[in-house]
Amino acid sequence: MPNIFRSCYQIIFKFCFTPLPFYNVFYSFPCKFPLRCILCDDMYKIVLSNLTFPFIYSLQKNGLFSGQQLIIFTSQDAHYSVEKLAMFMGFGSESVCKIETDQYGKMDIGDLETKVKHYINKGARPLMVSATAGTTVLGAFDDLNCVADICEKYNMWFHTDAAWGGGALITNKYRHLLNGIERSDSVTWNPHKMLIASQQCSTFLTRHKDILTNCHSTNATYLFQKDKFYDTSFDTGDKHIQCGRRADVYKFWFMWKAKGTNGLAEHVNQAFKMSEYITELIRERPGFELVLEKPECTNISFWYIPPSIRNMERGDLFNQKLNAVAPKIKEGMIKKGSMMITYQPLRELPNFFRLVLQSSNLTKDDMKYFLDEIEALGCNL
């Protein structure tokens, strides 16, 4: 089984991260947030900065108590797990600094640098930037090269949350969306998302050899005996935080064997193709309006504006009425049992639909059906 892990990840590296050597892997991790690992890398950096040796393991041994505040930067459109896990891991929500996004949902790099400087001046230590490749709502890709530059300049860990958008790496047509990912210190990529491996199948990749072992190992003697007759370096369990859980990478392995790289690429290309098609339909159809004129990923965000308010002046009252439309249509589709498309507000924007295409079995007819059905359920509101 460890051989499968290794070759599975070697394939990922070969196709997606060449020529970067990504050494260590982590699978079946329940979240997207590698903070513990980062802490340890931070320790390595401290060594490199010629600080005294006893300080190296200080955080791992003594925890965060009485230490300098460590700050995590991520965009305001990043997944909520960044803040949730920061709370869980003792950093506190106040240690997560949210960076503004531009009109496309991308991290504002100027704002990032300003805020990094602000915290340095306050005496805190900027620890990492968690960039997002494919945000949850708008499907935006942060400019990874720009984030990498800032991380290098201020000596921060560079993490890329490609849980959703990582699937685009598999296809030559769309992998440019993730340019710069090869500079990441760590990457999360969930094959259960865009590649539709069966739930759950998450990967965590880092190019820092042995870092996970050094961070998480507790050498429990009842599990990780060294006096075995085979090479115990294959017993990799001690380097992650879980014990006795599913080896989810198996699913990915079998899927890859069955579909091949080309098959996975075709799957992704088809989902993108349909998302581009429905974007076109929405653009041309009266009563429909796009949130992003040119979505980068397969997330299509749009409003349906019923005839009753279609000619209203845009403003607070219009937004208030529009805000009630999507929940009402959603109620209709659920009760009828016809389809399920999520909706939500975003900052000052009223509720809009967010269609996210993952299936490559969807056809042009399906795309038309989505819009027809929304119109049928909402035209009298």
Q: Is the dihedral of CA 99, 101, 102, 106 positive or negative?
A: positive
What are 205's two structure tokens?
Answer: 């990749």
- Contact between 126 and 72 under an 8 Å Cβ cutoff? The reply is no
Among 3, 48, 80, 294, indicate the residue that binds its own copies (CB under 8 A).
80
Check residue 354 for interaction with its own copies (CB under 8 A). yes
- Count residues contacting its own copies (CB under 8 A)? 66
Yes or no: say if 207 and 21 are a contact pair by the CB < 8 Å rule: yes
Segment near its own copies (CB under 8 A); pick from 140-148, 180-188, 225-233, 304-312: 225-233
Of 3 and 66, nearer to its own copies (C-beta) is 66
Quick check: 149 and 113 in contact, CB under 8 A?
no
Minimum CB distance to its own copies, residue 352 (Å):
10
> Binding string to its own copies for residues 111 to 150, with x set by CB under 8 A, is what?
-------------------------xx-------------
Contacts of 38 (CB under 8 A, 6+ apart): 127, 128, 157, 159, 185, 186
User: In this chain, which of 90, 110, 260, 307 binds its own copies, going by CB under 8 A?
Assistant: 90
Q: Which stretch binds its own copies (CB under 8 A): 41-49, 109-117, 256-264, 340-348?
A: 340-348
Residue 60 touches its own copies, criterion: CB under 8 A: yes
**Where in 247-286 is the site for its own copies (CB under 8 A)?**
none
**Does 91 interact with its own copies (rule: CB under 8 A)?**
yes
Structure tokens at 211: 């870092």
Q: What is the DSSP letter of 230?
A: S
What is the rounded distance in angstroms from the CA atom of residue 352 to the CA atom of residue 325?
9
Contact 372, 312 (CB under 8 A): no
* Piece in contact with its own copies (CB under 8 A), picked from 74-82, 262-270, 303-311, 358-366: 74-82
Kindly state the smallest distance separating residue 356's Cβ from its own copies, in Å: 11
Segment near its own copies (CB under 8 A); pick from 42-50, 91-99, 176-184, 290-298: 91-99
Minimum distance from residue 36 beta carbon to its own copies (Å): 5
Q: 179, 199, 232, 262: which one contacts its own copies (CB under 8 A)?
A: 199
Cβ closer to its own copies: 48 or 243?
Answer: 243
| Tokens, residue 106 | 């991308």
Q: Please pick, from the candidates 122, 222, 286, 348, the single residue that binds its own copies as defined by CB under 8 A.
A: 222
Question: Measured from the CB atom, is 139 or 180 closer to its own copies?
Answer: 139
Q: What is the DSSP string of 198-217?
A: SS---EEEESSTTHHHHHH-
Of 30, 110, 260, 307, which lies in the binding site for its own copies, with binding defined by CB under 8 A? 30
Encoding tokens for residue 306? 């019923």
Applying CB under 8 A, does 298 fall inside the site for its own copies? no
Nearer to its own copies by C-beta: 106 or 354? 354
DSSP state of 83: H
232 is an interface residue for its own copies by CB under 8 A? no
**Distance between CA 99 and CA 111 in Å, rounded?**
6
Please tell me whether residue 223 binds its own copies under the rule CB under 8 A: yes
Spatial separation of the C-alpha atoms in residues 206 and 22, rounded to whole Å: 6
Instruction: Tell me, rounded to whole angstroms, the distance of Cα 257 from its chain centroid.
Output: 25
Query: How far is 303 from 323, CA to CA, in rounded Å?
Result: 9
Rounded to whole angstroms, the Cα distance separating 222 from 8 reads 28
Verify binding: residue 377, its own copies, rule CB under 8 A.
no
Among 4, 15, 36, 273, interactor with its own copies by CB under 8 A? 36
The answer to whether 247 and 266 are in contact (CB under 8 A) is: no
- Ordered DSSP codes for 154-177: HT-EEEEE-TTGGGGGG-TTTGGG
Does position 220 bind its own copies by CB under 8 A?
yes
The number of beta carbons lying within 10 Å of the beta carbon of residue 37 is 26
Binding site for its own copies (CB under 8 A): 30-31, 36, 39, 59-70, 79-81, 83-95, 136-137, 192, 199-200, 215-216, 218, 220-223, 225, 227-229, 241-246, 324, 327, 330-331, 334, 342-346, 351, 354
